[in-house]
Amino acid sequence: MPGTNLTREEAQQRAELLTVDSYEIDLDLSGAQDGGTARSSEAGSGGGTYRSVTTVRFDVARGGESFIDLVAPTVHEVTLNGDALDPAEVFADSRIALPGLLEGRNVLRVVADCAYTNTGEGLHRFVDPVDEQAYLYTQFEVPDARRVFASFEQPDLKATFRFTVKAPEGWTVISNSPTPEPKDNVWAFEPTPRISTYITAIIAGPYHSVHSVYEKDGQSVPLGIYCRPSLAEFLDSDAIFEVTRQGFDWFQEKFDYKYPFAKYDQLFVPEFNAGAMENAGAVTIRDQYVFRSKVTDAAYEMRAETILHELAHMWFGDLVTMEWWNDLWLNESFATYTSIACQAAAPGSRWPHSWTTFANSMKTWAYRQDQLPSTHPIMADIRDLDDVLVNFDGITYAKGASVLKQLVAYVGEDEFFQGVQAYFKRHAFGNTRLSDLLGALEETSGRDLKTWSKKWLETAGINILRPEVATDADGVLTSFAVRQEAPALPAGAQGEPVLRPHRIAIGCYDRDPASGKLVRTERVELDVDGELTAVPQLTGKRRPAVILLNDDDLSYAKVRLDEQSLAFVTEHLGDFTESLPRALCWASAWDMTRDGELAARDYLSLVLSGIGKESDIGVVQSLHRQVKLAVDLYADPTARESLLTRWTDATLAHLRAAEAASDHQLAWARAFAATARTPEQLDLLEGLLEGTHTVEGLAVDTELRWAFVERLAAVGRFDEAEIAAEYERDRTAAGERHAATARAARPTPEAKAEAWASVVDSDKLPNAVQEAVIGGFVQTDQRELLAPFTDTYFEILKGVWDSRSHEIAQQIAIGLYPTVQVSEETLAKTDTWLAAAEPNAALRRLVSESRAGVERALRAQAADAAAGK
């Protein structure tokens, strides 16, 4: 039985048989405010059901049989070409069998009760504790349109969609087509263009909205921004519209294709699992991006990137869609690359240094992913839906975008975008494969990209680039070369290591005598291929203080500094005048730490020596996270407490020294709160909460208060009374999540047992609250308290995976894995479970990835211990 899975072969067979013309979908959501038209254990954890009526018109190439997908508690009617089929006979295992299909036009009508969810899949229902109103939104990627209407759930069976929705009085309903005037609370939308099922959308509720328009050269596109009324006071719509307009200008110029839909709405919705979703003309975005409290500019930069990423998807993904999920990168890598490029180059952008952020955060994610046993080619082998559900990873997004950045350098930016323009015009509203895009790029660039594609898109793993430097007694370079290595792939990974062609720049940096800053004195750009590439351009020149491979971050590779450059950078990393070379050096140092080439204690020293001079707030916050991870997991356990003390003392010193009301001050306040440990430090947190102590310029607002409360709960200073009192100050959905985190963080067996039971033994928690509980449950300084749950994790994991929805089960599988129990015993227990439980490929992948983290931590701890001898 297939369950809710779908194989690539089944999808191919269905696509060969069927051509879908149109869907007409009628949804009765009139009971949504009260939870739906029914309540039962079958109705889904969201509570209640709603009536869904789907009429599909499709053509069949030849007579035969097929199936349509539907996940629903009850199917009342199935009518195929006027003949009633018995639902008890044809509906099973999330599929409706379609026997006796006619050659030519067929018409199917399905009447079902579908279930609201609280998992962020299908039609999610949320009740705002502020106004006690219900808010709905759909999330369909990858295979969840079938939770709302009967659908041929695969991306290459595009069709038009006409939604008709009955909603409660006073609600607004938004979909892919422009919002009509309702009649008797019924919203009848015009049909969409031909799009895939997974980018259709319905958002409904008493949402607050702000409207504008994008106008240029006779083009007029209505723009809308939506959020819950309880967040309306925080909605900075002008800033969001500004970024959106910049994206419209830049993308339409680069793509030479007008925005392809009738309007563009952005909807900030609650309890969203991802960052955002590219529904055509109706993008849903997690409403944490409506900032209730002061945040650093890095948060605004991240939000802007998300906005631009989803806007880019209107072309990459919605206008032109991959044929099957193995080309998911055609959507995600391109959206990621173009969103960062837009931030860096669009006139008026606040973030011209966005490639610095990319190098320090997204590429770090990619490097980590590419060294796991689950590493895979950018163009992955997706056998079924289970495979793709766990493939929204650092390779698909960040490595793919890195490779595209290099491809642009390789073929030329103008030629690259000319190829993209031809691709859109040729395949508008259709489906494509990798060969379609490469063919267009080959035409415009004149380059043969087959070898490039084979090595970069169709193989897994990462290369290391090292400089080989020789100088004479006077410090003059007598030779310089770049050595490329292809490390063995992790155990369990498929494929062989490959040396690849790289387009890189080499930067030479020296101290400016006047300012003392590190400035670039020379740049050489070249192709690196094979094991050793000589760089004669540098021979005969005086050796600079720092030689930086992959300067400007053109390629995707782990980079090492030569011994002299590393020694200089260790003392002067903060002295680079530009943010990108600093970020590349920070990233190299972090990668060396993860690889056990740089001891955790030495990484801490490096960060402390240079972070005070780091101006890029995004880099500063990345360093905060990385230092804490290094000390918590990569340091010799016998040295951990002293390193944490050293780090916490430094965070407090930086907090006190930071400019009043600056982003750096806020970042250091959060870093301090994350590890405050001594009685005096905890007294300070309490004093800041109570107002008996102040730091000039530091606004202890709602979100910062919760950061303090959560830490005080984790160390046992605060218990239920204090947590409840804070929740009374912030009786919102966000407050509920923070309170759940704080309760789960308390260092008592009772609190841990209660948190565990609420997640594992019950399925009542909404996705966002469950995530918050797991986040509080796992505290790195509570290892002994958490140790007894290791065996329990492996006992319950298979049952949870088989009985919960994908999003909920994945949260548990990843979040509750005993990551903080860094020991050979944890590895052995994991191996025993993997051998005995026979998990499916998706669950095996998640557990194997977590195991790899423990294995890496053990190696790093050994390296740190050796450095301490």
Spatial CB neighbours of 446, under 8 Å, sequence gap ≥ 6: 415
Q: What is the CA radius of gyration of the chain?
A: 28
Six-digit token pair at 67?
A: 């199936």
**Among the options 301, 305, 310, 726, which is catalytic?**
310
Task: Report yes or no: 789 and 752 within 8 Å, Cβ to Cβ.
Answer: yes
**Phi-psi map region of 863: left, alpha, beta (phi>0 left; psi -120 to 50 alpha):** alpha
Burial of 283 (0-12, 13-18, 19+ CB in 10 A): buried
- Using a CB cutoff of 8 Å and minimum separation of 24, what contacts does 79-84 make? 79/108, 79/109, 79/110, 80/106, 80/107, 80/108, 81/106, 81/107, 81/108, 82/107
Q: Is the pLDDT of residue 41 over 50?
A: no
Q: Which of 591, 544, 588, 592 is nearest to 568 (CA)?
A: 544
The residue written with tokens 């067996």 in the block is: 749
Beta bridge partners of 691: none
CA distances (Å), 385 to each of 116, 140, 370, in order? Answer: 22, 13, 21
CB 360, CB 586: distance < 8 Å: yes
Is residue 310 part of the annotated active site? The answer reads yes
Tokens of 657: 């020294």
Pairing label, strands 202-205, 186-188? unpaired
Distance CA 698, CA 655 (A): 9
Alpha helix ranges (H) inside 256-327: 297-313
Calpha distance 549→463 (Å, rounded)? 13
Q: What is the pLDDT of residue 869?
A: 85
In this predicted structure, the answer to whether residue 583 has a pLDDT above a threshold of 60 is yes
- Helices 434-445 and 400-411 meet at what angle, rounded to 10? 20
Three-state SS string over 108-141 comes to: EEEEEEEECECCCCEEEEEECCCCCCEEEEEECC
Backbone angles phi, psi at 426, to 5 degrees: -75, -30
Return d(Cα 20, Cα 800) in angstroms, integer.
Answer: 36
Q: What is the mean pLDDT of the chain?
A: 96
Both ends of the chain: CA-CA distance in Å?
Answer: 58
- Rounded Cα distance, 646 and 608, in Å: 10
> Which helix (DSSP H) or strand (DSSP E) does residue 832 occupy?
helix 824-837
The answer to whether residue 2 scores a pLDDT higher than 80 is no
Task: Output 466 or 410, whichever has higher pLDDT.
Answer: 466
Lookup result for tokens 């000319």:
418
User: What pLDDT does residue 492 have?
Assistant: 84
User: What gap in Å lies between CA 396 and CA 699, rounded to an integer?
Assistant: 39
Token pair for residue 679? 């009685």
Burial class (CB in 10 A: 0-12, 13-18, 19+), 97: middle
Tally of CB atoms within 10 A around 61: 12
Q: What are phi and psi of 481, to 5 degrees?
A: -145, 160
Q: What does the pLDDT average to over 122-148?
A: 97
CA distance linking residue 71 with residue 197, whole number of Å: 14
pLDDT at 44: 40
Q: Where are the alpha helices (DSSP H) in 428-498?
A: 434-445, 450-456
Residue type, 397: Y
H-type helices in 314-445, by residue range? 328-345, 354-357, 363-369, 385-389, 400-411, 413-427, 434-445
CA distance 415 to 154: 32
Q: How far is CA 644 from the centre of its chain?
A: 29
Rounded distance between C-alpha atoms, residue 281 and residue 310, angstroms: 10
Mean pLDDT of 451-469: 95
Mean per-residue pLDDT, 513-525 = 96
pLDDT of 792 higher than 70? yes
Residue 582 identity (one-letter amino acid): R
| CATH fold of 464-559 | Immunoglobulin-like (2.60.40)
pLDDT of residue 36: 63
Residue 530's pLDDT band (boundaries 50, 70, 90)? very high
Contacts of 500 (CB under 8 A, 6+ apart): 455, 456, 459, 463, 484, 486, 529
Sorting pLDDT into bands at 50, 70 and 90, what band is 363?
very high
> In this structure, which amino acid lies at residue 836?
A
pLDDT score of 45 more than 50? no
Going by their DSSP bridges, the two strands 431-432 and 502-511 should be labelled as unpaired
Give the model's pLDDT for residue 39.
Answer: 32
User: Which neighbouring-strand residues pair with 511?
Assistant: 518
For residue 264, pLDDT over 50 is answered with: yes
pLDDT tens readout for residues 634-685:
999 999 999 999 999 999 999 999 999 999 999 999 999 999 999 999 999 9
Residue 859: which region, alpha, beta or left (left: phi > 0; alpha: psi -120 to 50)?
Answer: alpha
| pLDDT on residue 46 | 52
Res. 467 pLDDT band, cuts 50 70 90:
very high
Give the largest Cα separation in the chain, rounded.
92
Residue of 175, 173, 177, 233 whose CA lies nearest to 204: 173
Percent of the chain with pLDDT over 90: 96
| Span 322-456 CATH architecture | Orthogonal Bundle (1.10)
- Per residue in 416-456, pLDDT (tens digit) is 999 999 999 999 999 999 999 999 999 999 999 999 999 99
Three-state SS letters, 778-811: CCCCCHHHHCCHHHHHHHHHHHHHHHCCHHHHHH
Neighbour count for residue 215 (Cβ, 10 Å): 11
Beta bridge partners of 284: 267, 277
pLDDT for res 37: 53
Reading phi first (left if > 0) and then psi (alpha if -120 to 50, else beta), residue 183 is in beta
CA quadruple 567, 570, 572, 575: dihedral sign: positive
The yes-or-no verdict on residue 318 having pLDDT over 70 is yes
- pLDDT per residue over 76-125, tens digit each? 999 999 999 999 999 999 999 999 999 999 999 999 999 999 999 999 99
Give the whole-angstrom CA distance, residue 613 versus residue 518. 12
SS3 618: helix
Which secondary structure element, helix H or strand E, spans residue 484, and what is its range?
strand 477-485
Q: What is the pLDDT of residue 783?
A: 98
Domain ranges of the chain: 1-206, 322-456, 464-559, 573-786, 787-869
Cα–Cα distance list, 81 to 84, 88, 379, 436, 857 (Å): 8, 18, 40, 37, 61
CATH topology of domain 1-206: Immunoglobulin-like (2.60.40)
Report the candidate in 543, 369, 368 with the shortest Cα–Cα distance to residue 467. Answer: 543
CB 209 within 8 A of CB 226: yes
* 1-206 shares its CATH topology with 322-456: no
